[in-house]
Structure 1
């Protein structure tokens, strides 16, 4: 079994290694949006389904030994598609839905190799089961499924820690392609040897030939597909929730995907292939975690502390995926129906991926898939509790329901989750869940749940979780609806416009996840005031005001629009030209804020990736004459979770310098809680013959925010101006930091 096990391990390693390699290659072509990663996952889930269909057909069809020859032929043909480097024509193929473009690009670049990689695990397991001498030995083949997920986990984690820091993007693609050729050699070798060996008939314990197991029922297929779909939905919805609404920490997406893969290993490996999942140990903690995730969605208006929200969602995701995949493991059929089982898993995974990655952005105006997934998980837990009780003495539904109502009411009182109409009836003692007291209450809930399970009131645990989820998620919906003036969602994420009243002022904010991308005081007298990171004391504010005094009418370019705050600096005769990736942002800036409409400058907007747009304009001779170039170019795209690194490379800087006047200023907005981006810009500027200084603004006003702007210019006269020199500082280089290029970037080297 060693040769096929190694082949499966290598195939699964390459499966998850190719995902970040390709995603990094194509991210610059789609604006560095986090939606690229989500659509990549959808593509890989769909191809996984096709690979499992192929494995099922190949082993079930009447082609006999010809199945080996067919598979070998496809493996050889797939080598003709290498290396996995996307064609340059995809770079300029914009104009349709970005998600469809990503799917087409991936299909043309890595479709056939990935298809064959996905088919390897079920195909080789089915071939191995035909050589098993007994039914128990055949069922142990499922342990290779855990091995394949372990290989996928190694592939995923190896990229950011062992591959990305040491190899360029092109080198990564070539090395992966060479490793794929090695995989093809292993697969052909095993298939060629396996074709000569006849299948064995399994012998049962009495020494007779084992009778055929009855085929799985339609209900069992539906259950497999449903559990798999829920697990995939939890993965993608949990990734969106953690990276968009909890913390905008780069590379945080690795955590939920690692948890998802690890849950398969837990459930399909250990105890001689039976896995470590047992309902009596996993379902109760999973139900408690489900209620905790529902509470975390609305607690503190969705702004729960990172140190509480991140553990709640990561632990909840682990327990939730363990229940989904544990239910799959405990209901797996005999090896005779192995490909049926894997095909159902792939169907559910593709269904969950399509719902979250493709359908949800078109149907919902917010991240509603996470609340729905939590509700479905509580329903699955209730089903598990009810079915488990069918194996022994039961407690009545009425008793379970009464206990659940009492427990849910108490929990909602303690956590402030009662509907607002009933909140006024809450007594003062219900506010005890503060600070360290919340951990005591959590321990009490856990003990109470275990006692209910001990006395066979399992259904009360499931019902309590379901009732709490319904109430918490109603509160979540109410908290989002309150104060939200407008919301929109598309391929690039979810945007909300909120309005609040403070000190007789109406303040409107544009929010993407947990990041504020602009705000405006809506009172007529004050609505022209620049706010947040763009105040007059900020680096960009000082630059524009200084240039107005020395240059006169300005040509101002802005990569990134936000609420359009910079337009308020416009004066008669100025040009304000903005490059914005997301069409929803432009619509919101024009309809929900007044900066663009009130600006005294002439405002122009260009939709699409800023770098590609500038390169296209350069090719059209739009910046040939110095007077056509920008006096000030603002690059403002680095405060969110998905850092568009293609806008921060030496090649990108060449483009910025080409569209800026010789004595112009390129201003990089680098306010970021987790990344130290200033040394990256300083090094690129120094290697290009420019000067770079940091303006770290820490204002005391309520309407302006702390900001870090790096000003890059050739003009020493500009840097000597008092309003710049007095508030700027030298950037300390980072030792060992290489110059970022399109072929090499590494976020780990600049983590704060």
Structure 2
């Protein structure tokens, strides 16, 4: 008896660890592939979203393969799965270096194709692990073989491990080559463990199969599985984009919503979930109402802080948990052959959510509106939603109308929109609790959803932000323009500001020809960049990152500017909505090259006296811009006596030390200056600049610049190794700079 217990314990342990290992490999390869992409296709801000969509589509392909194999006996299914793993091993260790040759503006299609060439086969094989091993487990003699879904918890715990260990241990300790070799080693171990699982399984008897036969699956049930997986997947990307673009673009912020997403799976598919489906379905309409009230209507200061991030993540986790609990309650227990169909529909839903957010929404919507929209749409998956009822028809009609009007500017009320928002919020904060109390016996969840939809439409289309005059959204992010009035020297001026994500990229004072050409934001004459131009007096200047074009107003009769900008929307706005490029005239009009700064700069044949790098989007650090290989390329195009000036202003990283350490390997010296004076002009933004030079540096010491010594503890960054965690400093000098 003890021997049988030991054997079933061994069976459970082997199957659980194999699933854990497979999921760990899947979630470790994703950030590794993202890092490998940077030097090849440039620092596209939406690259991670496309990579997530790629991996979701490959996950779908893996489940589709497993589902196709489900038509054969379980052990033969397992053998085919092992053969697929062996085919994937041919592509290891993973390397993207042999797939170069893409344009420097790598759109989503090109990035998707690049990842497909290098990673599709092994990742598809990895993706087939969960449903295949769970099917094999049903053929064992383990006491829980009739309900193998609890093994999904082991898979999700492995996902947690891969997700959290990568930034904490793998990235700081290993180069990309070493990471790839370790991945290959783990993959070989997985093949061996898969063989052991196959050996522990057995063919189900015909009697057992007949007893468990649940008949043919209905399309309605399969579509329900798909929808319940689609909504959390799309909402995951929506909340990640919303937080990083509109609230706070902190390092590795994408880990938090993804971790919560996995946690909801762990809870939902546990044998005894810690939270009941009944409770979450009761809370669902209230979560929607609270989310819409704060996301769309009132935007208090605390919402733009870490407390705000926590608030939005709680809203997201609540909706995801409702969907995943309901999904788990609908899993097929009557026929093991339906297990692969269940995971196939789940993966189709997840992939569709990824494709929607990565490829469709950025090209359809001109603003970040998908998060509140998806909150509202989630009610259509509630058990009490009746599409044929009066409220159901009203909800569907208003939701469709909201989507059709999504790019429509708000109505002009001729009043302060913030005052209107606050007034409406105060009315609702009193009226809603009263209504809940008075109608507590007859109030239906659909009424709450309908009310939330009404508040959303009013906040978006009636009392929206009227200082926003333009919003352009594309693959690279969202560019917004704001016009606000300000009295300057007893004269009312219009201050036009460009924001890209959560960062100000330039401003201009309109209404006074004397001030229109004034350098603003991080580029003022009184600031560090003004020191550089005064000391160096460069003739030929290259700038990585156009912004509003403010730098072009450092005019001189013999000066030439070349700008390199990856986002075509930024170029369009700088040329047509700001006057810096047209009214500030040097030797010739500025040259503008559209493409990734590092890749395009390497193609130039000329040399420059000054190279300015200003390419950080919010606090997202495109590390491929500051590696040893990148610095070497820059100085191959910098004239003798020339310098590189880098705007390293951000809130979360102390970059000067690691950049100086990296630069020292090329014989470069580094100096830095922070412009944090409270006496700065109102049009000046706090900034932190670093200057690198090969020859004796320009005379900047008298202007407050200080040398930066290489660190003895930090490792230089290369295309093969970067470690952002080593430069992380939430309360450092950079705090408050952007």
Measured against the shorter chain, the TM-score band is 0.7 to 0.9
Native 8 Å contact 2:87 2:122 kept in 1: no
Specify the alignment match of 1:159 in structure 2.
Answer: 166
Structure 1 residues 431 and 588, CA, compared in 2 at 3 Å: closer, same or farther?
A: closer
Specify the alignment match of 1:82 in structure 2.
Answer: 92
1:535 paired to 2:542: no
Distance 1:528 1:418 in 2: 33
Native 8 Å contact 1:133 1:202 kept in 2: no
Distance 2:126 2:655 in 1: 38
Specify the alignment match of 2:43 in structure 1.
Answer: 32
Which structure 2 segments of 5+ residues have no match? 1-11, 395-409, 730-738
Distance 1:452 1:674 in 2: 49
Q: Which moved more, 1:76-85 or 1:252-261?
A: 76-85
Measured after TM superposition, the shift of residue 587 of structure 1 is 1.5
Match of 1:102 among 111, 114, 128: 111
Native 8 Å contact 1:296 1:312 kept in 2: no
Native 8 Å contact 1:371 1:473 kept in 2: no
**1:251 aligned counterpart, secondary structure:** coil
Specify the alignment match of 1:412 in structure 2.
Answer: none
Distance 1:224 1:428 in 2: 38
Which digits, 9 at most, give the CA deviation of each residue in 1:21-76, with x for residues without a partner?
11111023232223111111111111111111111111124x67543443333222
Distance 1:719 1:7 in 2: 62
Specify the alignment match of 1:509 in structure 2.
Answer: 497
Measured after TM superposition, the shift of residue 157 of structure 1 is 0.8
Measured after TM superposition, the shift of residue 469 of structure 1 is 4.1
Specify the alignment match of 2:536 in structure 1.
Answer: 547
Match of 2:295 among 297, 300, 303: 297
Q: Which moved more, 1:20-29 or 1:365-374?
A: 365-374
1:672 paired to 2:660: no
Measured after TM superposition, the shift of residue 98 of structure 1 is 1.6
Which digits, 9 at most, give the CA deviation of each residue in 1:103-149, with x for residues without a partner?
11111111111101111110111122234688xx4453010112211
1:150 paired to 2:157: yes
Native 8 Å contact 2:552 2:561 kept in 1: yes
Distance 2:313 2:570 in 1: 31
Which digits, 9 at most, give the CA deviation of each residue in 1:541-586, with x for residues without a partner?
22113333xx6xx111101110110001122221101111112111
1:564 paired to 2:541: no
Measured after TM superposition, the shift of residue 725 of structure 1 is 1.8
Distance 2:295 2:423 in 1: 20
Measured after TM superposition, the shift of residue 495 of structure 1 is 1.0
The 4+ residue runs of structure 1 with deviation greater than 6 A are 417-424, 426-434, 444-449
**1:632 aligned counterpart, secondary structure:** strand
| 1:241-252 mapped onto 2 (5 Å cutoff) | 241-252=242-253
Measured after TM superposition, the shift of residue 420 of structure 1 is 6.7
Match of 2:703 among 710, 720, 726: 726
Measured after TM superposition, the shift of residue 287 of structure 1 is 3.2
1:578 paired to 2:563: yes
1:589 paired to 2:587: no
Native 8 Å contact 2:249 2:619 kept in 1: yes
Native 8 Å contact 2:42 2:105 kept in 1: no
| 1:462-477 mapped onto 2 (5 Å cutoff) | 462-477=446-461
Specify the alignment match of 1:656 in structure 2.
Answer: 634
Specify the alignment match of 1:361 in structure 2.
Answer: 362
Measured after TM superposition, the shift of residue 727 of structure 1 is 2.2
Distance 1:736 1:452 in 2: 65
| 1:252-331 mapped onto 2 (5 Å cutoff) | 252-271=253-272, 275-299=273-297, 304-331=303-330
**1:656 aligned counterpart, secondary structure:** helix
Measured after TM superposition, the shift of residue 709 of structure 1 is 0.9
Distance 1:432 1:477 in 2: 16
| 1:101-180 mapped onto 2 (5 Å cutoff) | 101-131=110-140, 137-180=144-187
Which digits, 9 at most, give the CA deviation of each residue in 1:219-244, with x for residues without a partner?
22222111111010110001101111
**1:60 aligned counterpart, secondary structure:** coil
Which structure 1 segments of 5+ residues have no match? 204-208, 388-395, 402-416, 624-628
Native 8 Å contact 1:270 1:276 kept in 2: no
Specify the alignment match of 1:631 in structure 2.
Answer: 609
Structure 1 residues 711 and 64, CA, compared in 2 at 3 Å: closer, same or farther?
A: closer
Distance 1:170 1:611 in 2: 22
**1:160 aligned counterpart, secondary structure:** helix
Native 8 Å contact 1:375 1:470 kept in 2: no
Match of 2:583 among 595, 598, 608: 598
Measured after TM superposition, the shift of residue 376 of structure 1 is 1.0
Distance 1:486 1:428 in 2: 21
Measured after TM superposition, the shift of residue 447 of structure 1 is 12
Match of 2:55 among 44, 55, 62: 44
Structure 1 residues 284 and 365, CA, compared in 2 at 3 Å: closer, same or farther?
A: same
Higher helix share: 1
Distance 2:529 2:501 in 1: 24
Q: Which moved more, 1:571-580 or 1:211-220?
A: 211-220
Match of 2:683 among 703, 711, 727: 703
**2:70 aligned counterpart, secondary structure:** helix
Distance 1:183 1:282 in 2: 37
